[in-house]
């Protein structure tokens, strides 16, 4: 479906044309008409499917078409991380170029000047507030902020927000909003806790589900079965003498990210690191350099595994096996976006074999195991059942791990 076939106002269509957006993705084609009808929505869609535009475009249309309060906050978009909030803010700026609407991004990790900009936006009534839960609550608790005119409340990556422990924060915000509002939830997965949240804050929602959360076929999924001590040697084998181009390497450990960063620096490669020890200015700089091809390799915790739009990632490496199948899908979903092809490689140590086998079971496929180069040494046998004890238990019949996640 083309965007000009959707009942969007001219100002929004002009913004789409200026940004060269022509064809709507399936999630956009399914959700935009429903949101335009002012129905509450719960949408489940795979990462990289264009979810952000799916809620920004009808929001801008509704604000343009309907009377709304001037100098009051009319909409809140909530996101789990600074990076995702910033990404949404950038897209909002582009899509709203031909409208008169204002927006403010409210997230932590920045200086006092940014705090003041956020406070003014909240108090003087930016039309749209894009916020992380914790930072928004900090402002709410310190200042008198009027949310009585909120007509639209949107949660993006709702499952990640709950994983990060934001349920109470979300409810504190919800309890300050008018009951007569439109609420929209986007989530990559639909576990029971998401359905419980939806039942609590949505009214007679329309449910939109675009495919199950599995990687697209355009991603060539591979793995190395190895010992933990061999992982650095595999990295050197893959990158020494090679020209890396737009590679992301994920690790669940901040310490490992720092070690890998040093390894690549010692190899003379162009590398950036992304983890929670960096302030917002540093993160923004690294993402800017990576997007503009001045940094070729990004080593990161899961802080960038969701919601960051970089279309030309050629390779994703999981330096360790993700917590569960959901996180695996989100990590490797950074590649093969926008109909491109990509490749993923997962390093699987002995201790991680059972966890990796559970991911294969969820995906209903055996991921190709690349033979270990002879110079690295002999690889362990792939015998996941021998390594099942000591790992997180698998939720019976659900295809998901029972997790105790920490913030990255």
Pairwise CA distance, residues 184 & 156, whole Å:
8
Q: Looking only at Cα atoms, what is the longest distance across the chain?
A: 69
Query: What pLDDT is attached to residue 79?
Result: 94
Query: What pLDDT is attached to residue 393?
Result: 38
Pairwise CA distance, residues 86 & 153, whole Å:
17
Could you read off the pLDDT of 46-93 as tens digits, one per residue?
555 678 899 999 999 999 988 887 889 999 999 998 888 988 998 899
Residue 277 half-sphere exposure, CB side, CA atoms within 13 Å? 8
**Its pTM surpasses 0.85:** no
End-to-end CA distance of the chain: 38
* Strands ordered across the beta sheet of 128-131: 103-106, 128-131, 75-78, 152-155, 182-187, 41-45, 206-210
Question: In a 3-state reduction of DSSP, which class is residue 299?
Answer: strand
Q: Which of 192, 184, 233 is nearest to 27 (CA)?
A: 184
Can you say how many angstroms the Cα of residue 46 is from the centroid of all Cα atoms in its chain? 10
Asked whether the predicted pLDDT for residue 301 surpasses 60, the reply is yes
Q: Confidence band (pLDDT; 50, 70, 90) for 404?
A: very low
Strands 219-225 and 315-318: unpaired
Q: Where are the alpha helices (DSSP H) in 312-386?
A: 325-332, 353-363
Mean pLDDT of the chain: 87
Query: What pLDDT is attached to residue 397?
Result: 33
Asked whether the predicted pLDDT for residue 374 surpasses 90, the reply is yes
Query: What pLDDT is attached to residue 25?
Result: 82
CB atoms within 10 A of CB 171: 14
Asked whether the predicted pLDDT for residue 313 surpasses 60, the reply is yes
Could you read off the pLDDT of 187-238 as tens digits, one per residue?
877 888 999 999 999 999 999 987 655 787 889 999 999 999 999 999 999 9
Helix (H) or strand (E) holding 99: none
Asked whether the predicted pLDDT for residue 308 surpasses 70, the reply is no
Asked whether the predicted pLDDT for residue 143 surpasses 70, the reply is yes
Query: What pLDDT is attached to residue 44?
Result: 87
Domains observed in the chain: 3-210 (3.40.50.300), 219-387 (3.40.50.300)
Q: What are the CA-CA distances from residue 55 to residues 90, 178, 303, 345, 388 (Å)? A: 14, 20, 22, 33, 42
Query: What pLDDT is attached to residue 379?
Result: 95
Asked whether the predicted pLDDT for residue 348 surpasses 60, the reply is yes
* 313 against 75, higher pLDDT: 75
Bridge partners of 23, per DSSP, are: 2
């Amino acid at each position: 479906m083309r965007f000009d076939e959707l009942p969007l106002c001219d100002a929004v269509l002009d913004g789409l044309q200026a940004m060269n957006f022509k064809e709507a993705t399936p999630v956009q084609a399914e959700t935009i008409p429903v949101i335009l009808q002012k129905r509450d929505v719960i949408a489940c869609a795979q990462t990289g499917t264009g979810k952000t535009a799916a809620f920004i475009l009808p929001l801008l249309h509704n604000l343009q078409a309907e009377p709304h309060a001037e100098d009051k906050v009319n909409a809140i978009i909530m996101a789990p991380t600074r990076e995702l909030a910033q990404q949404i803010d950038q897209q909002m700026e582009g899509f709203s170029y031909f409208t008169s609407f204002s927006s403010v991004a409210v997230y932590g990790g920045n200086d006092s000047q940014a705090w003041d900009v956020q406070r003014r936006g909240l108090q003087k009534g930016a039309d749209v507030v894009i916020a992380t839960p914790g930072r928004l609550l900090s402002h709410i608790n310190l200042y008198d902020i009027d949310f009585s005119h909120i007509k639209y409340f949107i949660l993006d990556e709702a499952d990640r927000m709950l994983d990060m422990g934001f349920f109470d924060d979300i409810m504190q915000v919800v309890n300050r909003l008018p009951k007569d509002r439109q609420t929209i939830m986007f989530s990559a997965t639909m576990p029971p806790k998401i359905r419980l949240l939806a039942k609590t804050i949505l009214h007679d929602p329309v449910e939109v589900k675009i495919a199950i959360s599995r990687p697209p076929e355009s991603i060539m999924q591979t793995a190395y079965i190895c010992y933990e001590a061999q992982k650095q040697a595999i990295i050197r084998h893959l990158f020494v003498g090679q020209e890396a181009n737009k590679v992301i390497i994920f690790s669940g450990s901040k310490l490992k990210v720092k070690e890998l960063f040093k390894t690549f620096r010692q190899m003379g490669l162009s590398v950036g690191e992304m983890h929670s020890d960096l302030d917002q200015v540093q993160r923004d700089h690294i993402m800017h350099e990576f997007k503009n091809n001045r940094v070729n390799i990004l080593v990161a915790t899961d802080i960038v595994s969701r919601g960051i739009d970089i279309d030309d990632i050629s390779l994703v490496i999981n330096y360790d096996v993700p917590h569960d199948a959901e996180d695996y899908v989100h990590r490797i979903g950074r590649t093969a976006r926008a109909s491109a092809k990509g490749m993923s490689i997962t390093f699987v140590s002995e201790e991680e074999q059972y966890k990796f086998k559970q991911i294969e079971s969820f995906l209903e496929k055996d991921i190709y195991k690349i033979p270990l180069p002879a110079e690295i040494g002999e690889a362990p046998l792939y015998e996941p059942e021998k390594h099942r004890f000591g790992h997180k238990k698998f939720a019976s019949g659900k295809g998901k791990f029972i997790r105790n996640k920490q913030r990255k």
